[in-house]
């Protein structure tokens, strides 16, 4: 059984989408970020970085529990454990990992900062401009890639699952999807997947 510690944010939704996609049983443990649950000692024992998501696989390698944080590592683990969305071919697998790292190192942090500064009551124009500009640059890279591939790494993969919930927040970081037609096509196709729709509903709070 996978125990999923999550909240209603893009990084959390990646893992519930993944669990739905690979059909692995999971239990949801909401970590209310607004109430500071991520700082409680019992949660810090699972994730010393006091952020969501985290998982505990009660039936980990060797039949022993495995605790994991960082959404990208969790997606890779679940893909490898189930053998789904995890290409056996080395080239294809590294193409997936490359776009997953692009999400983890670029899309997540930059869109996250843009969201933060756009929502701050006290506006910091330099920060808004810096992160909005970088978000737009990343959208351009994604749009170019999706102009010649159906999904980020060719076939539907954990790279798409990682990126989708961040693009879902495009209105907060003030990006018009109509200006990125290839991303819009990709976003609409992924939004229509029943597994994605179920994963996006988690946690039910
Ligand atoms: N690189 C981490 C980032 C996790 C992260 O930033 N989580 C946010 C929610 S999306 C969080 O828990 N924030 C709470 C806090 O910073 O106190 C991952 O991908 O898992």
Rounded CA-CA distance 11/191 in Å is 16
State the sign of the Cα–Cα–Cα–Cα dihedral 195, 197, 198, 201: positive
Give the chain's residues under pLDDT 50: none
Q: Which residues of 153-177 are buried (b: 16+ CB within 10 A; e: fewer)?
A: beebbbbbbbbbbbbbebeebebeb
Query: Pocket around ligand 1: residues whose beta carbon is below 6 Å from it?
Result: 9-11, 33, 38, 50-53, 70-72, 108
Is residue 152 within 8 Å of 106, Cβ to Cβ? no
Residue 40 sits at φ, ψ, to 5 deg, of: -70, 140
30: tokens are: 């909401």
0.95 exceeded by pTM: yes
Whose alpha carbon is nearest atom 12 of ligand 1?
A: 51
Whose alpha carbon is nearest atom 5 of ligand 1?
A: 51
Rounded CA-CA distance 103/123 in Å is 26
Domain ranges of the chain: 2-85, 90-195
Note whether 2-85 and 90-195 share their fold: no
**What is the whole-number distance in angstroms between the Cα of residue 53 and the centre of ligand 1?**
7
pLDDT at residue 160 in the model: 98
pLDDT at residue 107 in the model: 98
Residues 6+ apart with CB under 8 A from 96: 85, 86, 87, 153, 157, 158, 159
pLDDT at residue 53 in the model: 98
From 51, 71, 102, give the residue whose CB has the most ligand 1 atoms within 8 Å, as the site to mutate: 51
Domain with residues 90-195, CATH architecture = Up-down Bundle (1.20)
pLDDT at residue 140 in the model: 98
> In Å, what is the CA distance from 167 to each residue of 55, 94, 105, 187?
23, 23, 15, 8
pLDDT at residue 205 in the model: 80
Residues 6+ apart with CB under 8 A from 44: 50
**What is the whole-number distance in angstroms between the Cα of residue 26 and the centre of ligand 1?**
20
Kindly give the number of the ligand 1 atom that is closest to the alpha carbon of 39: 17
Tokens 């037609």 belong to residue: 181
2-85 maps to CATH 3.20.20.190? no
Longest dimension (CA), the chain: 52
Whose alpha carbon is nearest atom 6 of ligand 1?
A: 51
């Amino acid at each position: 059984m996978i125990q999923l510690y999550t909240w209603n944010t893009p990084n959390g939704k990646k893992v519930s989408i993944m669990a739905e996609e690979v059909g692995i049983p999971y239990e949801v443990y909401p970590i209310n970020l607004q109430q500071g649950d991520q700082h409680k000692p019992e949660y810090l024992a699972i994730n010393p970085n006091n952020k969501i998501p985290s998982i505990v696989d009660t039936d980990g390698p060797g039949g022993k529990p495995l605790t994991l944080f960082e959404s990208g590592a969790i997606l890779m683990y679940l893909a490898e454990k189930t053998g789904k969305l995890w290409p056996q071919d080395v080239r294809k697998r590294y193409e997936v990992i490359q776009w997953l790292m692009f999400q983890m190192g670029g899309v997540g942090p930059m869109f996250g900062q843009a969201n933060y500064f756009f929502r701050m009551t006290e506006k910091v124009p330099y920060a808004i401009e810096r992160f909005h500009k970088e978000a737009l640059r990343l959208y351009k890279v994604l749009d170019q890639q999706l102009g010649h591939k159906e999904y980020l790494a060719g076939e539907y993969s954990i790279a798409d699952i990682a990126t989708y919930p961040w693009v879902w927040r495009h209105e907060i970081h003030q990006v018009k999807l109509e200006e990125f037609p290839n991303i819009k096509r990709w976003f609409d196709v992924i939004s229509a997947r029943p597994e994605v729709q179920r994963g996006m509903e988690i946690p039910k709070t």
